[in-house]
Structure 1
Amino acid sequence: MLIVAGTGYVDPAHRDALLEGLAPALRRTRTAPGCLDYVVAADPIESGRVNIFERWESEADLNAHLSGNAQTAPSMAHVRSVEVVRYDISGSSPLPS
């Protein structure tokens, strides 16, 4: 399993429009083969920050998504910066309650 996580910074006045513009791509990606989770969401504390979280079954699934995504990506004109990191996960277990 792979996890992709990160943050993006955008002009706070344009954050809602960015998220609205991303919604169709998020919906499509969630139905892609191997996509377990995919979200870009407004940070509740910093008005110009978005949080990015993805889970993929395999590297091949993530690569297929990345290779086809460039043609459908919305405008990122108001994005100031993005930092995203990929994590290779060898196992997982539920947290104790």
Structure 2
Amino acid sequence: MSIIVAGKLTIKSNFRDEFIEKSRQAILLARNDDACDDFSVSPDPVDLNRVNIFEKWKTRQALDAFRESGPENDMFSLVESFDVTEYDINT
């Protein structure tokens, strides 16, 4: 089984680039984790306040462990709203 995390974040006006930059450390940590198949935080090409999220993890335990140990910063203070869903995928 795999876990897919996908969706969008609405970022406060004029803070999208800062949010992307603050995400860089988490992206690198996740991609270096053997249990992570993919991890991306990317700016939407049309909506200047939107960031798209995609993650693929091998197990729920790996995703939970990453969330508990990820880098600490104030990046979520830049988020106005979340529309992100987790999917359990049987492979």
TM superposition score normalised by structure 2: 0.89
Aligned to 2:63: 62
The answer for unaligned runs of 5 or more in structure 1 is: 92-97
Structure 1 counterpart SS, 2:77 = coil
1:74 aligns with 2:73: yes
Identity over aligned pairs, percent: 33
State how many pairs are aligned: 89
C-alpha RMSD of matched pairs (Å): 1.2
User: Considering only CA atoms, is the larger Rg found in Structure 1 or Structure 2?
Assistant: 1
Query: Deviation per CA, 1:40-65, whole angstroms, max 9, x where unpaired?
Result: 10011111000000000111111111
Q: Provide runs of 4+ in structure 1 moved above 6 Å.
A: none
Query: Deviation per CA, 1:15-47, whole angstroms, max 9, x where unpaired?
Result: 001101111121111112300000110011111
The answer for unaligned runs of 5 or more in structure 2 is: none
Contact 1:25–1:73 (Cα < 8 Å) also in 2: no
TM superposition score normalised by structure 1: 0.84
- Amino acid of the residue matched to residue 22 of structure 1? S
1:13 Cα offset (Å): 0.8
Which structure shows the bigger proportion of residues in strand conformation? 2
